[in-house]
Structure 1
Amino acid sequence: MNRLEPGVWVTSKELVSPESLSRMIDRLDRINVGRAYIQVVGRGDSYYSSALLPPAEELVQPFDALRKAIAEASGKTFHISAWMNVNLVWGFERRRPLSAVHIVNRHPEWITVDENGTSMLDYSSCNLEEVFGPYVDPGVAGVREFTEEIASEISNYDIEEVHLDFIRYPFRSFGFNPIALAEYRDWLNEEGLSNGTDSFDRFRIDAVTRQVSMISETVRSKGKKLSCAVYDDYSERAVHERLQPWLEWLENGLIDAAVVMAYGKEPEEVISRVKNIRSLHGSLNNIRIGLGAFNYASRWDEFIELIKQVRELEPDEVTLFALSSVDDELCGRLRALQEEVR
């Protein structure tokens, strides 16, 4: 790797107005990024012109943020990946969405249910790691079709790639939606299996994989690539806890790239997990390593050294989360690093 043009995740907070979006494009240009993952589907709402999703309530004024971002990035050197949250559709401790067409209001029966029979819509909080709000249940056929249609809409834009986030279950204690359980019983009959923990895990893993496969077929039919944000601890956090077998998706050609969320606070932990992924996959081809810049504020020396160490492992890309964490000092250090490796 002779160059360093990082990818950067850009959250929807940067898209709430035309003015904030223009500032975002300028900052990306200053950092000299190679790819911008621009979040255009937040929590069941949109930052583009959608026939399926309501406009995000956070928008200061109605406008197509994705179209404007594409226009303002014209002539820049970076690629745009349109980032959509897939199964996460709202937040805890919030009122219901104002729009009647929001999926939470239109199809509350699609929300996943825990092992005690409680819908996530009835949660006011959750103490499980990185479970930020209610999810739709990928074990429901209507959910898989709905998320495919969203990806199809996004693929109509002049982007290189669709980027999936929250393409998983919130945790293994979820997935007990009554509609999904009926589908599970049919699945058991088709597979000739008996009910049990292993069978239910297989069903849920298969459901998410079918969701990815449907999206992949649609996105690629429109000439776009597909990537997914995934967990860095493959066996435990990804597959066992979240039913997210992303290495299988990559190896079976369902996705073009996996963007690994290696957000550890300590560089040694990050490098150890990245090396484990390289060992499991055989290389870091088609694997991008996402680093949590937010964990290294005031520790930029350590962060730059971490970037150097990750680059030595030869991933397809180093990706930073998120643009809001890249202050002027880090921006300057990144540009200096780019000059150093040319």
Structure 2
Amino acid sequence: MKKLLKSLKWPALFVGIILLLAACHRAPTRTAKETDKMKGVWLTDVGTMGLTYSTLLDETLHHISKSDYDRVYFSVYGLRGQLYPTRQRGDLIPKLPFPNAVGSMARESRRQGLKPYAWFEYGLMLPQFDPVAKNNPDWLLTMANGEQVIENHGVPMVWLDPSNPEVEAYILAHIDDILKEKSLAGIQLDDHWAVPRQFGDYRRSLTALTTKVHEHIKTKNPEFELSLSPNPYQFSLNEYNQDWLRWVKQGIVDEVVVQIYRSSPAEVQQAVNNSGIYTASRYVPVGVGLYTGRKIKPFNLQSIKDQINAVEKQNLGHSLFVWEFMVLRVINIHLNIL
């Protein structure tokens, strides 16, 4: 046994040195890219944590910056909890005590010349099993038939009432927690910052809450941006009470990235034309959100390139959902493992 341990000593030491060098290495700094059209990527919370704890964050953001992208939207509030310290909601996944994933993402993004946005992914939606939902049943919306749960990708979800003062305080407290990270460029709300029409007409309540969020942010930090990534306008309005064109015209959002998740360039172009994005572009910077596919069966890579070209021909920026899916697609092409 002693001989075996002795024989393993040097290989283990060598591996340890390699890991230490990898942890200490940092990709070179890049300057911010000046552009008139946004080019962004989304990162999931799992991707953000994985990159942070594996020391691959700097190389990844360096590569994104070298590829002429200028911003990243990384999920900080979702199904599994949040990536920032807060007393508002329990964590549903364990986190290592260091480093701070949100702080690391924000600061390293800035070092690579990228604008970092904390993506408040789940908005007013919560999984039914979330402690906030269980401990505050009076915060939840109820349909006319008495039901509170709507399935979302197979997960039973409940929705917070935007007109409830305690819900407002809960949301603003989360915003305060995010604002503590000074390196961030802004926060992004998305299509879950909404209320499904099954619960009734909540357009005024949702608009009022969005106004308060924007005012709260600007009072704390006038330079901090409130970004929004909704679905096309009529669908958002009719199905989810999300009157986002009104918000744009009122000046309570600072940029819009419209989710146009389609399978072909022709479908993307048709959806863009009817999305409301051209109206929004008169007031704020805009972009088109494009879908890179699921983990197991992503879109054809050439199709994604063609969709980007179709958007750029319309003089519009874009953002890719999500970076991890794109990487898995490239791995699939080169290694043929999926």
TM bracket (short chain): 0.7 to 0.9
Give the C-alpha shift of residue 44 in structure 1.
Answer: 7.8
CA–CA distance in structure 1, aligned partners of residues 161 and 172 of structure 2 = 14
**CA pair 8-57 structure 1, distance change in 2 beyond 3 A:** same
Residues 1-342 of structure 1: matches in 2 within 5 Å? 6-16=39-49, 19-20=52-53, 22-32=55-65, 33-43=69-79, 45-54=81-90, 56-63=91-98, 64-84=100-120, 85-90=122-127, 96-97=129-130, 102-120=131-149, 126=151, 133-158=157-182, 159-165=184-190, 166-169=192-195, 171-175=196-200, 201=201, 204-221=202-219, 222-223=221-222, 224-232=224-232, 234-235=233-234, 237-276=235-274, 277-281=276-280, 285-294=284-293, 297-315=298-316, 317-327=317-327
**CA pair 134-264 structure 1, distance change in 2 beyond 3 A:** same
Are the counterparts in 2 of residues 7 and 319 from structure 1 also a CA contact under 8 Å? yes
**CA pair 117-256 structure 1, distance change in 2 beyond 3 A:** same
TM-score of the pair, normalised by structure 2: 0.76
Are the counterparts in 2 of residues 278 and 284 from structure 1 also a CA contact under 8 Å? no
TM-score of the pair, normalised by structure 1: 0.75
**CA pair 44-249 structure 1, distance change in 2 beyond 3 A:** farther
Are the counterparts in 1 of residues 207 and 247 from structure 2 also a CA contact under 8 Å? yes
Give the C-alpha shift of residue 3 in structure 1.
Answer: 8.0
Give the C-alpha shift of residue 34 in structure 1.
Answer: 1.0
Length, aligned pairs only: 287
SS class of match (1:327): helix
Give the C-alpha shift of residue 266 in structure 1.
Answer: 2.5
CA–CA distance in structure 2, aligned partners of residues 312 and 281 of structure 1 = 18
**CA pair 282-76 structure 1, distance change in 2 beyond 3 A:** closer
> Over residues 253-285 of structure 1, what are the superposed CA-to-partner deviations in whole Å (9 max), with x where a residue is unaligned?
000011111111232121112122245446585
**CA pair 130-137 structure 1, distance change in 2 beyond 3 A:** farther
**CA pair 130-303 structure 1, distance change in 2 beyond 3 A:** farther
SS class of match (1:319): strand
CA–CA distance in structure 2, aligned partners of residues 131 and 209 of structure 1 = 27
Gaps of 5+ in 1: 176-200, 332-342
Are the counterparts in 1 of residues 226 and 253 from structure 2 also a CA contact under 8 Å? yes
Equivalent position amino acid for 1:150 in 2: H
CA–CA distance in structure 2, aligned partners of residues 31 and 119 of structure 1 = 41
Task: Select between 5-14 and 208-217 the one with higher mean Cα deviation.
Answer: 5-14
SS class of match (2:293): helix
Are the counterparts in 2 of residues 44 and 88 from structure 1 also a CA contact under 8 Å? no
**CA pair 281-68 structure 1, distance change in 2 beyond 3 A:** closer
> Over residues 193-245 of structure 1, what are the superposed CA-to-partner deviations in whole Å (9 max), with x where a residue is unaligned?
xxxxxxxx2xx10111111111101111223110112012x11x110110001
Are the counterparts in 2 of residues 226 and 257 from structure 1 also a CA contact under 8 Å? yes
> Over residues 73-108 of structure 1, what are the superposed CA-to-partner deviations in whole Å (9 max), with x where a residue is unaligned?
3421111001113201225xxxx34xxxx4123312
CA–CA distance in structure 2, aligned partners of residues 59 and 27 of structure 1 = 23
Give the C-alpha shift of residue 15 in structure 1.
Answer: 3.3
Are the counterparts in 2 of residues 21 and 65 from structure 1 also a CA contact under 8 Å? no
SS class of match (2:157): coil
Are the counterparts in 1 of residues 188 and 227 from structure 2 also a CA contact under 8 Å? yes
CA–CA distance in structure 2, aligned partners of residues 108 and 329 of structure 1 = 42
Are the counterparts in 2 of residues 284 and 314 from structure 1 also a CA contact under 8 Å? no
1:183 maps to none
**CA pair 257-12 structure 1, distance change in 2 beyond 3 A:** same
Are the counterparts in 1 of residues 186 and 225 from structure 2 also a CA contact under 8 Å? yes
Task: Name the larger-Rg structure.
Answer: 2
Give the C-alpha shift of residue 131 in structure 1.
Answer: 8.0
SS class of match (1:133): strand
**CA pair 20-266 structure 1, distance change in 2 beyond 3 A:** farther
Equivalent position amino acid for 2:212 in 1: M
